[in-house]
């Protein structure tokens, strides 16, 4: 295909370009598709400013999915993009790069705060080369595709690892950017070339936090596996001519001494303000400097130097060490502090748990995650108040859960869920899981079914995490069609509770009578701001006095058409914008067996300026919805239209219509409006001539009363309706009513004009302050019965179909450690939101007895007390995480803000930032003392 040449004006003058906007879109789309089919490690992708890229998409009138792992999406943009846009200038990435002299123009770096999709897009190398050929500009920002995690997932490394090189000779420092997959050998090569020194003279040290940790030996080990972090320091020492290599010496006998790295002295001033445990030396310190190119041992990369499996004890004032922030890792630090202050976990990981490690579990991490967590817990409980850098743990986390690798902000609850599950699988005492086929309840007693399923679960899952953290809930599903009841009992690790909002808003909806028994009437109701369509429908049912045999069909009207029906009761109200127009049609509940009739209105507009042009018909007024009783022909539709329009008849014509009376009956107004016979304001052509009012009931032998035509879903095709038109039995029939002068004389169309907006903001609107809600309200919202969403349909074994069943949850068995996740973050197709609602949660004596449905009297106490909180401050895409944790032995609360630890009063821990709550079961009173030690129940 020959590509046409065209000339376009650009900011830098007129240039010759190879193709049209449509051709540009086609070429780029083909290049993206080709790149997606050839994903592999080492491929180059280029970062482009989203600001420029959107300008280009407006120009080509297409939306392209540029990210290589998203499904390619190409669609027209009639609403998102303007009808016309000028060709953009050269590619301009200036708004996303760091303007620093140190970065150099030849190697510009990206701003750290950028988000993909919002600030930049990624395009394959071939796409960048084509755009660069067409538009020039830049700078070019190439990035490599790498594999991350044990699963070798492919990902573009947008932010390479930045290391600060300190040279001991001249105290200079230089920023280096390398891939985290680069080897230590590559690091040596780059440093030696930069400093112009021989490789054998160079010694590079891990200099994290300005302390010499481990000598980095030139090998194939990657920077990531060496636990090097973003923006950390590395130290360059150069061996002088004729001197011995650094670290070697002689003892009194002249024998060479082995290289033993010594941990530098810790500062005597700590974040928490207390003394350090020791003089700064660690007798248990071991180095991985000579581990070789690979880490064959699970313990080889434990930077903290403790034997994870030997019994240990809490250090003096243990549990008051903070965690260093390694770059947006506050989410990890917050979750970790809550876990390492969980009493039974502290007790467990300070013991010898050698026999508990499950290295063969295919669902686990070969025991490495449990070892890394145990190592970190011991360090935190043994280091006094000196902050700990969890580098080894973060390395393991990124390896087994690539979604947490890198240095972006993540969710502390998501990390907590992964960590609890991962620790369970690594410590699962079951080496070979037996198979059990679950059975339906089939009317058996709940206690029998629950105990059976819990026994099956424990035979396959037996770990300290299950011992203390897992409970069981009852799930009841009811089919809406056949009323089949299915009861199951499922384990849970934590409970994610919705926040029932107390914020309200007013919504105005116009209600129409589908049987023609009353005039349309607007109703303004108050609903929860974050409620559902079913909440709006329920409020309207009360407001309009809906009969027991009716239901409301809600719809959005746009441009005189029914744009969409709200037939999913669980759709959130936030999907309805304030400036939209919502209507509700009163329909009989038996409408499922009837044919629904949707009536749109159209008038004839004559072109006055140019009489040579043909007249055109345009939609106007509000569509009506009614129903047909066993329709056969066009006369049935004609009668249904007559019936639904009956309330709009003018007073002068009411007497001519048999069966219609004055007065306010079934919602009709007490007075009708007198309108002059010659009040029609629109001029019509020949087919619009007035005729006498005809009673359609006795009109079987005459023509139809109205000009009607059948139309399709999009309203593009019209087929005139005659008395003998055959009506097929369908669920929905759409017609268009052409208004003539006769209709304007007979009916008052003002009732179908100017629908009110859903919500009109103004000074008269009373703004109410968000009220506090209780933890019990959140729990009740979690346990209440509600229908499943359309994307979560249940397969009914009796109907043999997927059904939108109703679901009811009940608590059945509670664990010793009960974790509540407050769902502050909500995501939908249209918006993302964070709720800062204050949740009033009890610190002591949280009694859940009334929510537990099991009648087993041997069940432990259902009273809990709070011991930790993960907090989130700020909004979406950012913010900051901290933790409040209680030291049980001291009976005091502390605030853990990364490396900073400080005491906090119990009265101050209740805030609107509370995100994840950790409770422990209160044991029965023993000798006047509430509580008692936790026991980890291990299988024999």
Please spell the DSSP secondary structure of 274-342, one letter per residue.
S--SSSS--TT----TTS-SS--STTTT-TT---TTS---PPTTTT---B---SS-HHHHHHHHHHHT-
Task: Tell me the pLDDT band of 226, cut-offs 50, 70 and 90.
Answer: confident
Q: What single-letter DSSP state applies at residue 482?
A: T
pLDDT at 762: 56
pLDDT tens for each residue of 488-530: 899 999 999 998 866 788 899 999 998 888 899 999 998 887 7
The pLDDT confidence band at residue 303, using thresholds 50, 70 and 90, is very low
pLDDT at 98: 83
Task: Give CATH for domain 30-73+83-156.
Answer: 3.30.2230.10
pLDDT reported for residue 653: 54
Q: Out of 431-435, 590-594, 624-628, 775-779, give the one with best mean pLDDT.
A: 775-779
- Asked whether the CA dihedral 791, 792, 795, 799 is positive or negative, the reply is negative
The answer to whether domain 504-607+615-649+705-752 has CATH 3.40.630.40 is: no
Catalytic residue annotation? 330, 880
What's the pLDDT at 212? Answer: 87
Domain(s) labelled CATH 3.10.20.90 in the chain stretch across 161-238, 504-607+615-649+705-752
Checking if the pLDDT of 791 tops 50, the result is yes
Q: Is the pLDDT of residue 797 over 90?
A: no
With residue 415 as reference, give the H or E element that holds it.
Answer: helix 412-426
> Thinking of the domain 161-238, which architecture would CATH place it in?
Roll (3.10)
Please state, in angstroms and rounded to a whole number, the distance separating the CA atoms of residues 465 and 420: 7
State both tokens at 644.
């639904």
CB burial of residue 881 (10 Å; 0-12, 13-18, 19+) = buried
Per-residue CA distances from 850 to 252, 324, 434, 829, 855 (Å): 76, 42, 35, 37, 11
pTM, whole model, 2 decimals?
0.63
- One DSSP character per residue, 91-116 reads EE-GGGB---TTT-TTS--B-TT--B
Helices (H), 41-159: 50-60, 125-135
CA-based nearest residue to 854, from 813, 896, 903: 813
Contact at 8 Å (CB) between 871 and 913? yes
Q: How confident is the model at residue 596 (pLDDT cuts 50, 70, 90)?
A: confident
pLDDT at 292 (0 to 100): 32
pLDDT value at residue 740: 87
Please give the pLDDT value at position 110: 87
Whole-number Å distance between alpha carbons of 582 and 564: 10
829 pLDDT exceeds 80? no
Classify residue 51 by its DSSP letter: H
Percent of residues, the chain, with pLDDT higher than 90:
27
Question: What is the predicted pLDDT for the residue at 65?
Answer: 54
**CA angle 835-841-847, nearest 5°?**
140
Listed residue (717, 709, 736) closest to 602, CA to CA: 736
Burial (0-12, 13-18, 19+ Cβ within 10 Å), 75: exposed
**pLDDT band at 729, cuts 50/70/90?**
confident
pLDDT at 883 over 60: yes
Strand pairing category for 732-739 and 595-605: parallel
Euclidean distance between CA atoms 360 and 428, whole angstroms: 10
Closest CA to 10 of 136, 99, 94, 142: 136
Reported confidence tier of residue 258, pLDDT bands at 50, 70, 90: very low
What pLDDT sits at residue 859? Answer: 64
In the prediction, which pLDDT does 211 show? Answer: 84
* First-last CA distance in the chain: 76
Residue-wise pLDDT for 95-146, tens only, equals 888 875 444 456 788 888 787 887 899 999 999 998 998 998 889 999 998 8
Using DSSP's 3-state secondary structure scheme, residue 552 falls into strand
Q: How confident is the model at residue 103, as a pLDDT? A: 45
107-111, 368-372, 699-703: the lowest-pLDDT one: 699-703
Residue 605: per-residue pLDDT: 66
Which tokens is 16 given?
A: 């010759």
The helix/strand/coil state of 418 is: helix
Helix (H, G, I), strand (E, B) or coil at 422: helix
Q: Is the pLDDT of residue 624 over 90?
A: yes
As a whole number, mean pLDDT of residues 190-202 equals 89
Judge whether 754 and 692 are in contact, CB under 8 Å.
Answer: no
- State the span(s) of the chain assigned CATH 3.30.2230.10: 30-73+83-156
Average pLDDT of 765-788?
A: 76
The answer to whether residue 330 scores a pLDDT higher than 90 is: yes
Supply the pLDDT for residue 372.
92
Q: What pLDDT does residue 771 have?
A: 59
Residue 163 near residue 188, CB atoms below 8 Å: no
Burial (Cβ within 10 Å: 0-12, 13-18, ≥19) of residue 742: buried
More confident residue, 609 or 241: 241
Q: Are the CB atoms for 582 and 509 separated by under 8 Å?
A: yes
Q: 429 and 390 in contact (C-beta within 8 Å)? A: no
Predicted pLDDT of residue 75? 36
- Among residues 451, 458, 455, the alpha carbon closest in space to that of 430 is found at 458
Please give the pLDDT value at position 766: 45
DSSP three-state, residue 643: helix
Check pLDDT > 70 for residue 679: no
| Each residue's pLDDT tens digit, 375-401 | 999 999 987 888 999 988 988 888 888
pLDDT band at 818; cut points 50, 70, 90 = very high
Listed residue (902, 859, 861, 856) closest to 883, CA to CA? 902
Q: Is residue 366 scored above 60 in pLDDT?
A: yes
| Measured distance CA(843)–CA(914) in Å, rounded | 12
Identify whether 266 is preceded by a cis peptide bond (ω within 30 of 0). Answer: no
CA pair distance 883, 885, nearest whole angstrom = 6
8 Å CB contact between 131 and 25 = no
pLDDT surpassing 80 at residue 147: yes
Over residues 164-169, the mean pLDDT reads 90
Of the listed ranges 18-22, 159-163, 286-290, 431-435, the one predicted with least confidence = 286-290
247 or 748, which is more confident: 748
Nearest to 45 by CA among 156, 134, 138, 147: 156
Query: How many whole angstroms separate alpha carbon 703 and alpha carbon 726?
Result: 15
Alpha-carbon Rg of the chain, whole angstroms? 36
Q: Tens digit of pLDDT for each residue in 43-74?
A: 889 999 988 998 888 888 777 654 333 333 33
Q: Which candidate, 330, 65, 319, 121, places its Cα nearest to that of 897? A: 330
Confidence class for position 2, pLDDT limits 50, 70, 90: very low
């Amino acid at each position: 295909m020959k590509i046409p040449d065209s000339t376009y004006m650009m900011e830098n003058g007129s240039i010759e370009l190879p193709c049209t906007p449509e051709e540009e879109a086609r070429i780029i789309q083909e290049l993206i598709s080709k790149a997606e089919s050839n994903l592999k490690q080492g491929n180059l992708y280029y970062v482009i400013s989203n600001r420029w890229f959107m300008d280009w998409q407006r120009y080509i009138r297409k939306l392209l999915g540029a990210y290589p792992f998203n499904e390619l999406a190409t669609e027209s943009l009639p609403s998102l993009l303007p009808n016309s846009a000028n060709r953009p200038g050269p590619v301009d990435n200036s708004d996303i790069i760091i303007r620093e002299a140190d970065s150099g123009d030849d190697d510009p770096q990206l701003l750290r705060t950028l988000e993909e999709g919002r600030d930049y897009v990624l395009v394959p190398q071939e796409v960048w080369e084509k755009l660069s050929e067409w538009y020039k500009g830049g700078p070019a920002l190439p990035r490599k595709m790498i594999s991350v995690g044990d699963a070798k997932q492919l990902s573009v490394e947008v932010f390479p690892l930045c290391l600060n090189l300190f040279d001991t000779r001249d105290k200079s420092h230089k920023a280096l950017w390398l891939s985290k997959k680069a080897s230590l050998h590559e690091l040596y090569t780059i440093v030696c070339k930069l400093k112009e020194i021989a490789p054998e003279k160079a010694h590079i040290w891990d200099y994290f936090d300005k302390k010499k940790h481990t000598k980095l030996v030139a090998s194939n080990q990657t920077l990531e596996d060496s636990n090097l972090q973003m923006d950390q320091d590395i130290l360059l020492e150069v061996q002088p001519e004729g001197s011995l290599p650094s670290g070697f010496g002689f003892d009194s006998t002249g024998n060479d001494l082995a290289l033993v790295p010594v941990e530098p002295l810790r500062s005597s001033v700590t974040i928490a303000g207390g003394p350090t445990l020791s003089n700064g030396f660690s007798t248990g310190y071991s180095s991985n400097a000579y581990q070789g190119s690979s880490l064959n041992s699970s313990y080889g990369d434990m930077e903290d130097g403790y034997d994870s499996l030997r019994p240990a004890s809490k250090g003096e004032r243990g549990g008051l060490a903070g965690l260093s922030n390694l770059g947006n890792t506050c989410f990890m630090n917050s979750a970790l502090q809550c876990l390492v202050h969980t009493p039974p976990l502290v007790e467990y990981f300070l013991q010898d748990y050698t026999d508990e490690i499950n290295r063969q579990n295919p669902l686990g991490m070969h025991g490495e995650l449990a070892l890394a967590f145990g190592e970190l817990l011991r360090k935190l409980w043994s280091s006094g108040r000196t902050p700990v850098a969890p580098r080894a743990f973060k390395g393991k986390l990124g390896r087994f859960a690539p979604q947490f690798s890198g240095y972006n902000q993540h969710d502390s609850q998501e990390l907590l869920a992964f960590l609890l599950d991962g620790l369970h699988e690594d410590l699962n005492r079951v080496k070979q899981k037996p198979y059990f086929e679950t059975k339906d309840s089939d009317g058996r007693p709940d206690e029998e079914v629950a105990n059976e399923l819990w026994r099956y679960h424990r035979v396959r899952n037996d770990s300290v995490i299950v011992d203390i953290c897992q409970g069981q809930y009852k799930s009841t599903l009811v089919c809406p069609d056949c009323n089949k009841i299915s009861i199951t009992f499922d384990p849970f690790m934590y409970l994610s509770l919705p926040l029932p909002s107390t914020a309200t808003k007013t919504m105005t909806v116009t209600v129409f009578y589908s049987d023609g028994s009353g005039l349309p009437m607007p109703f303004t109701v108050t609903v929860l701001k974050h409620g559902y369509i079913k909440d709006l429908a329920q409020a309207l049912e009360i407001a309009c006095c809906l009969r027991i045999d009716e239901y409301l069909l809600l719809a959005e009207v746009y441009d005189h058409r029914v744009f969409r029906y709200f037939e999913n009761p669980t759709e959130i109200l936030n999907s309805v914008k304030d400036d939209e127009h919502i209507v509700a049609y009163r329909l009989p509940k038996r409408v499922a067996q009837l044919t629904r009739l949707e009536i749109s209105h159209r008038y004839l507009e004559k072109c006055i300026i140019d009489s040579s042009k043909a007249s055109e018909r345009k939609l106007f007024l509000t569509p009506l919805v009614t129903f047909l009783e066993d329709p056969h022909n066009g006369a049935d539709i004609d009668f249904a239209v007559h019936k639904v329009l009956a309330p709009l008849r003018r007073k002068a014509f009411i007497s001519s219509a048999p069966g219609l009376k004055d007065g306010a009956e079934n919602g009709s107004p007490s007075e009708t409006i007198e309108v002059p016979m010659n009040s029609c304001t629109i001029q019509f052509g020949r087919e619009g001539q007035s005729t006498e009012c005809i009673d359609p009931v006795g009109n079987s032998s005459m023509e139809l009363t109205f000009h009607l035509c059948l139309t399709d879903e999009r309203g593009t095709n019209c087929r005139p309706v005659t008395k003998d038109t055959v009506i097929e039995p369908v669920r929905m029939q759409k017609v268009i009513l052409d208004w003539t002068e006769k209709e304007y004389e007979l009916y008052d169309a003002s009732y179908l004009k100017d629908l009110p907006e859903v919500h009109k903001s103004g000074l008269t609107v009373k703004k109410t302050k968000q009220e506090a809600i209780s933890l019990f309200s959140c729990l009740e919202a979690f346990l209440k019965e509600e229908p499943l969403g359309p994307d979560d349909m249940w397969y009914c074994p009796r109907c043999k179909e997927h059904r939108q069943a109703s679901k009811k949850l009940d608590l059945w068995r509670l664990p010793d450690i009960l974790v509540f996740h407050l769902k502050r973050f909500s995501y939908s197709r249209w918006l993302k939101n964070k709720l800062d609602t204050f949740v009033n949660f009890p610190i002591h004596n949280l009694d859940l007895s009334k929510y537990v449905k099991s009648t087993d009297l041997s069940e432990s106490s259902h009273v809990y007390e709070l011991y930790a909180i993960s907090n989130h401050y700020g909004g979406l895409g950012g913010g900051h995480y901290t933790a409040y944790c209680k030291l049980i032995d001291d009976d005091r609360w502390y605030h853990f803000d990364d490396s900073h630890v400080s005491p906090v009063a119990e009265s101050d821990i209740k805030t609107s930032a509370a995100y994840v709550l950790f409770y422990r079961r209160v044991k029965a009173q023993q000798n006047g003392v509430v509580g008692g030690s936790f026991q980890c129940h291990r299988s024999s």
